[in-house]
Amino acid sequence: MHSPAEENYIKAVYQITARQTEPAGTNALAEALQTTAASVTDMLKRLSAKGLVVYAARQGCTLSDTGRQLALQLLRKHRLWETFLFEKLDFSWDEVHELAEQLEHIQSDELINRLDVFLGCPQFDPHGDPIPNAAGQLASRRQLPLASLPLCQPAIIVGVGMHDPAFLQYLDYMGLRLGTQVEVLECFGYDLSLRIALPQGEERVVSHKVAQHLLVGA
Amino acid sequence: MHSPAEENYIKAVYQITARQTEPAGTNALAEALQTTAASVTDMLKRLSAKGLVVYAARQGCTLSDTGRQLALQLLRKHRLWETFLFEKLDFSWDEVHELAEQLEHIQSDELINRLDVFLGCPQFDPHGDPIPNAAGQLASRRQLPLASLPLCQPAIIVGVGMHDPAFLQYLDYMGLRLGTQVEVLECFGYDLSLRIALPQGEERVVSHKVAQHLLVGA
DNA sequence: ATCATTATTTTGATTAATCAAAATAATGAT
DNA sequence: ATCATTATTTTGATTAATCAAAATAATGAT
């Protein structure tokens, strides 16, 4: 079994190596985990001894196969708990992450599989992110940022490219939720902000930054 | 905040002092926590410094008011999680304790209060034990061991005085579940075993030991 | 090629939690 | 009152996780 601290390191290595081709650096990990580089070096040695990561001094760190499998199981647990909190306990999508950070460390495959069934085996979490299945496989989906959606082509909001609670609260406030139909009516060249149509004749204007982080499916 | 280890000590002190008038001894705590007396002495000093227990060397240990309040909140979390596992995820009543031992350490009042509401604010857990409310108050109830129930007086199974999984599985197998109506038809003087009636004309014979640990309400 | 900057690791320490073995205090029997 | 037994604490150590400060390696600019 693995300690919560170890699991958090594995998640951080997974996240960092997912968005770059190079191995995760010590400082990047320290930043992600809100700790010091010295602590990271230390833990990487332990994780390496456990066979969860591939690490050699000053070479950065990548996940081993078992490490990646662990990371995917943690992602599965995290996202299923988020779904539970959102669907069953009525937490908002900006509140679920923090709690799931604790719940994901509960150790029981049986528990998580029953939770999965209880929730109806959801494919996506409250942010639209895919939930790995018991084998660690992720569903994929055709999606693009709202900023890249052609004019006059209706689409559905399916995800967000940014999980900052303030952003999620803003989207809630604007009525831009998962499943909402949107259509770009007009793009203002000056700042690339968009005028968009929502159901029931509602309209909104959103900044380019928002449009970049709002993901839609055709 | 308190570590899971600290919380487990607080629970153990609560449980031991609940069933005796003397303070909890070091060895009793070591036994309950599956650790050594040396570790217990050490931790009691720390908990005392935190104001959670009253402890002086060789005097045993009792909970302070804040310690007792913490113990009741842990009991609340434990029993609400057990109820969730039993009611929503279809775990059997002999399986829920182990998992609740992990879940009770999740830190969030908001989570536990929403879970409470989601479950319909249950007063009793799957074993019939009372669930403290947010203020730490426990419901009480008129109950007695089946062994003390007079002949020919129908009663309802409301709890168990023993949480050993093997005992709980046995009760399940015998159809002796919470809410089941029972009536003592006959007591065999030789070993005090009982012949009892269940609904639909079913009958069972149970040992004195079982009858002592099966709690019924009139 | 050299040197300043940056990234990383090492060293030496700390805290929480744990234990085995030794020391000490309390208890109960005589 | 004394002594053996039992309960508890102390002592000295360990492991996981952490850090500040010092040391070292890598990088990029000249």
Whole-number pLDDT of residue B24:
98
Which residue from B90, B91, B107 is facing A102, i.e. has the nearest CB?
A: B107
Residue A106: closest CA among chain B residues belongs to which residue?
B102
Residue A108: closest CA among chain B residues belongs to which residue?
B99
Whole-number pLDDT of residue B197:
98
Tell me how far apart the alpha carbons of residues A111 and A116 are, in angstroms, rounded to a whole number. 9
Average pLDDT, chain A: 98
- 3-state SS string over A149-174? CCCCCCEEEEEECCCCHHHHHHHHHH
- 3-state SS string over A77-110? HHHHHHHHHHHCCCCCCCCHHHHHHHHCCCCCHH
> What residues of A are in the B interface, CB distance below 8 Å?
85, 88-91, 99, 102-103, 106-108, 111, 114-115, 118
CB contact under 8 A, B111 and A99: yes
- Per-residue pLDDT in tens (0 to 9) along chain B, 218 residues: 999 999 999 999 999 999 999 999 999 999 999 999 999 999 999 999 999 999 999 999 999 999 999 999 999 999 999 999 999 999 999 999 999 999 999 999 999 999 999 999 999 999 999 999 999 999 999 999 999 999 999 999 999 999 999 999 999 999 999 999 999 999 999 999 999 999 999 999 999 999 999 999 98
Give the closest nucleotide to B9 (alpha carbon vs C1'): C17
Percent of chain A with pLDDT over 90: 100
What is the biggest distance separating any 2 CA atoms in chain A, rounded to whole angstroms? 60
Q: pLDDT confidence of A83, banded at 50, 70, 90? A: very high
Q: A154: which 2 tokens?
A: 């209706």
Tell me how far apart the alpha carbons of residues B62 and B23 are, in angstroms, rounded to a whole number. 5
The CA distance from A115 to the nearest CA of chain B, in Å, is 7
| CA nearest to A79, candidates A31, A115, A52, A110 | A115
Angle between helices A26-33 and A4-18 (to 10 degrees): 120
Tell me how far apart the alpha carbons of residues A154 and A198 are, in angstroms, rounded to a whole number. 9
CA of B53 to C1' of C27 (A): 25
Query: Which DSSP category does A53 fall into?
Result: E
For residue B124, the cross-strand partners are B130
Tell me how far apart the alpha carbons of residues B176 and B159 are, in angstroms, rounded to a whole number. 10
CB contact under 8 A, B90 and A114: yes
